[in-house]
């Protein structure tokens, strides 16, 4: 009897060890959460994204608290909170902000998740501080039901240089959002002048002044497409990120058209990283391994019409996303932008948004 019990116990131990090994060797979406609560900051939680992620992650054992704000606001929150931040993981953002967070020591470098090699070349941080999850084309969008492509602007300067667009495009009242900052970067870096104010020529500042002077300020809390379909609003066009275009078309019945400038368009490459002061690093690493996997990013793409950075999930993206994200990228000096964007926005707010 004792011999039988010993054999049974030995078998149980082997099975237990095998199960442990399988759990440790799990990759991607097979990596389950342990129930340790993670606090996540993101600028990519709007339009139901945060709720979906929280619920989907819970199915695989992750317990998430998600704080959603604009990209600049997330950045500033992390700076202000310093070592006292409750944040464990941050995702979304863009190259401008990632470089700033790295320089401040706010995010940590960590071993690449298994899916990092599936990401399009050049999108991950080379030093392991963040890994790419979504590509967002930053568009000048309009509704082709109301504006024929031949009558639409072909580039951003058309908005302030052609009177027929005056008052018909939305201009921002806050400059903390990642999309807004990418738009401004795309405009201002066309006018780089080392001898100009903040590295920009007088012509560039005059262009930005006209941009804000001839736009219709955004109505706080009302999205662009709600304005576009509102007969009482003059707004017919404005800034939009690529995944938002498809989502809002489904919501409002619009059909998005977009400018394809000869110089290309800005792109925001969203990433995911771990906060250097996190007390839950191991769970955070598990979440990153799970979240960026082809399986989960494919589900995210199908739900929110985004273009995954993970090439194994790219077939889940709609044809419209593939088309939008095939527009050539504008040649932008992102180091110049990162060094000056706060000062540029401050000047715009003080001088051109009164």
Helix (H, G, I), strand (E, B) or coil at 282: helix
In 88-241, which ranges are continuous DSSP H helix? 95-103, 157-161, 178-188, 202-213, 224-229
Of the candidates 106, 110, 43, 51, the one whose C-alpha atom is nearest the C-alpha of residue 73 is: 43
Specify the DSSP element, H or E, that contains 132: strand 131-143
Class of domain 2-135+269-318: alpha beta
Residue 10 CA to residue 89 CA, distance in Å, equals 41
Residue 256 CA to residue 137 CA, distance in Å, equals 13
The strand pair at 267-274 and 256-258 is best described as unpaired
Question: Phi/psi class of residue 82: alpha, beta or left (left: φ > 0; alpha: ψ in -120 to 50)?
Answer: left
* pLDDT tens digits in sequence order for the chain, 354 residues long: 545 544 444 444 444 444 333 345 789 999 999 999 999 999 999 889 999 999 999 999 999 999 999 888 999 999 999 999 999 999 999 888 998 899 899 999 999 999 999 998 888 999 999 999 999 899 999 999 999 999 999 999 999 999 999 999 999 999 988 899 999 999 999 999 999 999 999 999 999 999 999 999 998 889 999 999 999 999 999 999 998 898 899 999 999 999 999 999 999 889 999 999 999 999 999 999 999 999 999 999 999 888 999 999 999 998 999 999 989 889 898 889 988 999 999 999 999 986
Residue 352 CA to residue 77 CA, distance in Å, equals 26
CATH no. for 137-266+328-351: 3.40.190.10
In the chain, DSSP assigns E strands to 37-42, 63-68, 89-92, 131-143, 170-171, 192-197, 200, 216-217, 237-241, 256-258, 267-274, 307-308
pLDDT at 243: 86
Cβ-Cβ contacts under 8 Å for 8 (sequence gap 6 or more): none
pLDDT at 15: 42
pLDDT at 254: 97
Residue 293 CA to residue 306 CA, distance in Å, equals 15
Residue reference for tokens 């998430």: 64
pLDDT at 57: 98
Yes or no: say if 309 and 321 are a contact pair by the CB < 8 Å rule: no
pLDDT at 24: 57
Residue 354 CA to residue 348 CA, distance in Å, equals 9
Domain ranges for the chain, please list them: 2-135+269-318, 137-266+328-351
Same fold: 2-135+269-318 with 137-266+328-351:
yes
Residue 287 CA to residue 302 CA, distance in Å, equals 20
Specify the DSSP element, H or E, that contains 90: strand 89-92
Cβ-Cβ contacts under 8 Å for 161 (sequence gap 6 or more): 210
Helix (H, G, I), strand (E, B) or coil at 292: coil
Q: Which DSSP symbol is given to 43?
A: S
pLDDT at 101: 94
């Amino acid at each position: 009897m004792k011999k039988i019990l010993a054999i049974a116990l030995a078998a149980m131990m082997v099975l237990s060890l095998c199960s442990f090994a399988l759990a440790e060797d799990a990759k991607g979406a097979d990596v389950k959460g342990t129930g340790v609560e993670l606090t996540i900051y993101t600028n990519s939680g709007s339009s139901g994204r945060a709720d979906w992620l929280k619920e989907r992650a819970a199915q695989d054992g992750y317990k998430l608290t998600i704080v959603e704000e604009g990209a600049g606001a997330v950045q500033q929150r992390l700076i202000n909170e310093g070592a006292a931040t409750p944040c464990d993981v941050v995702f979304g953002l863009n190259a401008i902000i990632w470089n700033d967070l790295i320089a401040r020591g706010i995010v940590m470098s960590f071993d690449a998740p298994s899916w990092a090699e599936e990401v399009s070349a050049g999108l991950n941080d080379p030093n392991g501080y963040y890994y790419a999850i979504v590509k967002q084309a930053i568009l000048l969008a309009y509704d082709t039901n109301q504006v024929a492509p031949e009558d639409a602007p072909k580039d951003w300067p058309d908005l302030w240089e052609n009177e027929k667009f005056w008052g018909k495009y939305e201009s921002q009242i806050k400059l903390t959002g990642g999309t807004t900052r990418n738009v401004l970067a795309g405009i201002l870096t066309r006018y780089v002048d080392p001898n100009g104010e903040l590295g920009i020529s007088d012509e560039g500042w005059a262009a930005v002044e006209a941009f804000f002077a001839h736009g219709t300020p955004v109505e706080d809390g009302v999205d662009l497409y709600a304005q576009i379909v509102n007969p009482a609003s003059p707004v017919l066009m404005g800034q939009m990120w690529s995944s938002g275009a498809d989502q809002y078309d489904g919501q409002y019945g619009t059909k998005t058209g977009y400018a394809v400038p000869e110089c290309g368009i800005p792109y925001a490459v969203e990433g995911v990283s771990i906060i250097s002061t996190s007390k839950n690093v191991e769970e955070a690493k598990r979440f990153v391994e799970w979240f960026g996997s082809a399986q989960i990013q494919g589900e995210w793409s199908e739900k929110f019409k985004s273009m995954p950075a993970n090439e194994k999930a790219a077939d889940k993206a709609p044809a419209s996303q593939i088309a939008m994200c095939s527009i050539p990228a504008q040649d932008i000096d992102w180091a110049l932008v990162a060094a000056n964007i706060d000062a540029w926005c401050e000047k715009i707010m003080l001088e051109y948004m009164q």
